[in-house]
Amino acid sequence: MNTVTNKTVLVTGGARGIGKGLARACLAEGARVIITNLDTAVAAATVDELSAMGEIRAIRCDATDRSAVDSMLDDIWGNEGPVDIAFSNAGTGDMAPILDMPIEAVHKLFSTNFDSALHLAQSYAPRLIEADRPGHIMFTGSEHSLDMPPWCADLGFGIYGATKHAMLVIAEWLRSELQGTGVSVSVLMPGPVVTEGLQATFEALAANPDDPALRSRFSKSTELGLRERFISTERCAEIALRGLKEGLFFIPAQPHIKDDVDARYRELSAAFETLGLANR
């Protein structure tokens, strides 16, 4: 999948944030784009904003509902034709310490971040296999798919990180299961990206740096970590498409992620050494 030009592209959660960046980047390269969003007004505004760049429309789809995903893909297949590239991007980032998050909130977060991705894969890939067509699924994971980023330890992203770890595992197994079918898989793994929500947080902190409600969630050290590491949605999308064209499975989006992965590797290697398992 070395180009998106003249391809039909689906971006779930494509009206804001990383998804909107992906939609914009694909339109700029000549793709036909379909985005999904639960808020039809937000989706319509994004379509209005981006329509001058090319062919784009929005479908309301609750991706936590498998039947809704099936209906969405039926709609696209009947109008634009088969989807060449599916960006499984719908998700959210609830924050709470692991010991404080009610199990109902845990289930809801997994439903939004993980179940939605699984539903899309289970509905999308078999259609391509049956038609003997190539295609690609890119899951929006996170640096949390690979490790616990130490700079954001007080953000309460433990359960969120679990959903992104789970997405990576599913993607790895799915890549294996799809060998020989023409359907390929990748995982986009960004660190902090300046989405609308993060931008609003920065603006609120600029207006009132000592706001106790904000500082209870964003300490000054966490704010500094975000500011040192964030990239724009446009940059994230640029990296995503480059990774797609290069045929990569892992698509990290920032250099600091390698430092965190290397630290985990060193700790694992030390454990093998300590247990006398390093040499066979």
Burial of residue 198 (CB within 10 Å: 0-12, 13-18, 19+) is middle
Structure tokens at 90: 């719908």
Q: What is the DSSP letter of 185?
A: E
Q: How far is CA 160 from CA 38, 111, 143, 173, in A?
A: 20, 11, 11, 21
Reference 36, options 19, 22, 53, 24; nearest CA is 19
**pLDDT for the residue 103:** 97
Give residues with Cβ within 8 angstroms of 197, minimum separation 6.
17
**pLDDT for the residue 205:** 79
DSSP-H helix ranges across the chain? 17-28, 40-50, 66-79, 103-110, 116-131, 158-177, 196-207, 212-215, 220-229, 233-245, 256-274
**pLDDT for the residue 95:** 83
**pLDDT for the residue 21:** 96
**pLDDT for the residue 280:** 67
For the chain, domain boundaries: 8-193+232-274
| Domain formed by 8-193+232-274, architecture | 3-Layer(aba) Sandwich (3.40)
The residues assigned a catalytic role are 160
**pLDDT for the residue 7:** 97
Q: How far is CA 42 from CA 12, 35, 140, in A?
A: 13, 11, 20
**pLDDT for the residue 136:** 98
Residue 56 near residue 35, CB atoms below 8 Å:
yes
Q: Chunked in runs of 10, what are the mean pLDDT values of the chain (280 residues)?
A: 93 95 97 96 96 97 96 97 97 88 96 96 97 97 91 86 96 97 97 83 81 79 81 96 97 95 95 89
**pLDDT for the residue 50:** 97
